[in-house]
Amino acid sequence: MAKNKLNKGNEVNQEFTKPKISKALLAKASQLFAYLKPYKGKFVLGMVFLFFSSITTLTFPALLGAMTDAAQGIQTYPWLTPSVQQIGILAFALLVFQTLTSFFRVRIFVEVAEKVLANIRRDTYRKLIVLPIDFFANRRVGELNSRLSADLSQIQDTLTTTLAGVFRQTLILIFGVVLLIWVSPKLALMNLSILPIIIIMASVFGRFIRKLSKQAQDELADSNSIVQETLLGISNVKAFVNEHYESRRYQTKLDAVVRIAMKGASYRAWFVSFIIFCILGAIIAVIWYGSSLVSIGEISVGDLTTYILYSMFVAGSMGSFPELYANIQKTLGASERVIEILNENPEPIKISKENKRINKKISGNLMFDKVGFSYPTRPDSEALKDITFEARAGEKIALVGPSGAGKTTISSLILQFYQPSKGKILYDREPAEGYSLTDIRNQVAIVPQDVLLFGGTIRENIGYGNLEEDAEDIITAAKRANAHNFIMDFPDGYDTVVGDRGVKLSGGQRQRIAIARALLKNPAILILDEATSSLDSESERLVQLALEELMKDRTSIVIAHRLSTIMDADNILIIENGRVIEQGTHAELVRKETGLYHYLYSLQSNEKIYPN
Ligand SMILES: Nc1ncnc2c1ncn2[C@@H]1O[C@H](COP(=O)(O)OP(=O)(O)OP(=O)(O)O)[C@@H](O)[C@H]1O
Ligand SMILES: [Mg+2]
């Protein structure tokens, strides 16, 4: 079955992978146990409450049996001679005790789990945001996010319920079996001898059915991803009038789901009937054989009652183990993935307020010295080859070239998102290694190709450039970026919420916000990655003016698609296939009639002369 990537992502969210429990896996998962340490005391206390509540549960069958006997004037336990009333009162007292211990155990485990999980969440997040860009290039962020939250809630479930369940059910099982034998060894022998047969049959049957139902779930996940895909891209579906195609695609998937489900239907029906047969059969057998033991006076009616109740406890606890085991398997898998993230190699950045402080000033000289680079995901194709140029402080350097030439890659290297595989990048003629990562990034600003705004207010989005600036400076920056007027046109002005849940800004407006943000940062080196999509001439003029304001008095690296914007550049680099193939000023390059720049320029200026 061919599955595209999106389907895979979805499937992962729905169905946890269950790895084989191995030593290595346990060792990895135990790393997460370190998070329990600060709450060790609380956790142990929870276990104590759990122990008492489980033990108390186990007293009820004995008490109820004794009550039945006492009602007939017999004493089950000859060394005690309580009345029915006394036993009843004792049972209620124990019930109150049991209720209280249950309350505390649940309360404590939930508290511990919440706190532990918050710590794990905080650490994974703090880890994620200092991981190199490369980590994210290999993963789909949406998938990473939903996967992570699913993994973490799986771990949380285990802390709140599964671990307690294992402890409780084990106690009940062990004590329960001992008590069964104590009440009536003969009944217990008969009971325990048929048990293994039932367990084996049930687990073989169960595994087979689970396999079928997993297949059905996979198909369902596939069909869900069709819904998700089409709803996300609804405008595409409509624009291409593909409603019929999509609904047929969905129908085909649904048919497959039903087909697989039907295949499992008879097995499932047999399985359920088999289990019912076993449970009721065991009860009938116990009562039957038990009653005959009562009739020959070997055990009392109270004993039989006690016995039946214990055997129900034991059966219940046995029945719960497969699920508990599966849950633990899932949790180990989930912890492994979380641990993998926690063990990734981060960038050398320590998360602290100090990050924003500049320790070593850069005045604005930027040099690329024979820089070669391959993306880690594509090690055998060189995105940049032998790039050499110098931008002196305050100069404007333009990068021009066809799509995919490597222009954005150069800007990523300037920001130290990646390290060059060959050559050096120098700031103020000192190799990048001489600076901390934060010093470089604090002094380089980028207005990217496609501006992504955070889902906050416009004020917050501009303020992102410098978190310390006050309202006044934000407005000044917006004015200098030609953004003030359109911002004030919104009823909420600077407090307008933008992004997914707010106002959608146009491309030109988003760019001007990004420019204001960069202005506020006041960097030594500025990178402008011009948007490929063209703006209408009025917004283009506004953006252009804003950019000129931004480029004043600093080194700027301008990635330009419209050559009109870079005619005044100090140096223009023509990049093709990761190489600088020509360079010079506008005047020099235009003179070279066989050059790429000359060709591009004549194309674009013709457009101006003969507009459509
Ligand atoms: N994260 C990445 N992983 C692997 N390869 C990448 C990555 N980003 C870009 N590339 C590849 O590197 C080459 C240069 O891409 P880059 O984005 O630098 O081009 P560009 O000059 O900015 O193009 P455009 O003008 O279309 O923005 C392309 O072949 C691209 O496919
Ligand atoms: Mg680009």
Distance 132 CA to ligand 1 centre (A): 17
Confidence band, pLDDT 50/70/90 cuts, at residue 501? low
Q: Tell me how far CA of residue 402 lies from CA of 222, 372, 536, 600, in angstroms.
A: 38, 19, 22, 10
The Cα 439–Cα 445 span in angstroms is 12
For residue 401, give the ligand 1 atom closest to its CA. 21
Distance 530 CA to ligand 2 centre (A): 8
Among candidate residues 519, 499, 422, 428, the one with its CA nearest the CA of residue 458: 499
Among candidate residues 495, 522, 490, 520, the one with its CA nearest the CA of residue 506: 490
pLDDT at 534: 56
Contact by Cβ (8 Å): 219, 253: yes
Distance 452 CA to ligand 2 centre (A): 15
Residues enclosing ligand 1, CB less than 6 A? 137, 375, 377-378, 383, 401, 403-409, 449
Contact by Cβ (8 Å): 7, 222: yes
Which residue has a Cα nearest atom 27 of ligand 1? 403
Query: Residue 318 carries which side chain, given as an amino acid letter?
Result: M
Query: Residue 387 carries which side chain, given as an amino acid letter?
Result: I
For residue 578, give the ligand 1 atom closest to its CA. 14
Condensed to tens digits (0 to 9), the pLDDT of residues 246-263 reads: 999 999 989 988 988 888
Helix (H, G, I), strand (E, B) or coil at 57: helix
Query: Residue 340 carries which side chain, given as an amino acid letter?
Result: E
Condensed to tens digits (0 to 9), the pLDDT of residues 371-393 reads: 999 998 889 999 999 999 999 99
Contact by Cβ (8 Å): 460, 497: no
Average pLDDT of the chain, as a whole number? 86
Confidence band, pLDDT 50/70/90 cuts, at residue 595? confident
- Percentage of the chain lying above the pLDDT 70 cut: 93
- The least confident of 13-17, 321-325, 559-563 is 13-17
Condensed to tens digits (0 to 9), the pLDDT of residues 519-559 reads: 888 899 999 988 655 566 676 777 778 888 888 889 999 99
Half-sphere exposure of 247 (CA within 13 A, CB side): 5
Ligand with smallest separation from the Cα of 410: 1
Distance 408 CA to ligand 2 centre (A): 4
- Percentage of the chain lying above the pLDDT 90 cut: 46
State the virtual CA torsion across 547, 550, 552, 554 in degrees, nearest 10.
-120
User: Could you tell me the CATH superfamily of domain 21-183+321-347?
Assistant: ABC transporter type 1, transmembrane domain (1.20.1560.10)
pLDDT surpasses 60 at 607: no
Which residue has a Cα nearest atom 8 of ligand 1? 409
Among candidate residues 101, 48, 91, the one with its CA nearest the CA of residue 67: 91
Domain ranges of the chain: 21-183+321-347, 185-298
Which residue has a Cα nearest atom 9 of ligand 1? 409
Helix (H, G, I), strand (E, B) or coil at 436: coil
Distance 590 CA to ligand 1 centre (A): 27
Contact by Cβ (8 Å): 282, 316: no
Write down the residue that tokens 């003016």 correspond to. 545
Higher pLDDT, 600 or 60: 60
Residues 6+ apart with CB under 8 A from 80: 66
pLDDT at 537: 67
Residues 6+ apart with CB under 8 A from 112: 36, 39, 42, 43, 46, 159
Task: Indicate the top mutation candidate among 407, 527, 528 to test ligand 1's pocket, ranked by most ligand atoms within 8 A of CB.
Answer: 407
Condensed to tens digits (0 to 9), the pLDDT of residues 141-193 reads: 777 887 788 889 999 999 999 999 999 999 999 999 999 999 999 999 988 88
Contact by Cβ (8 Å): 314, 58: no
Ligand with smallest separation from the Cα of 402: 1
State the virtual CA torsion across 48, 50, 53, 58 in degrees, nearest 10.
-100
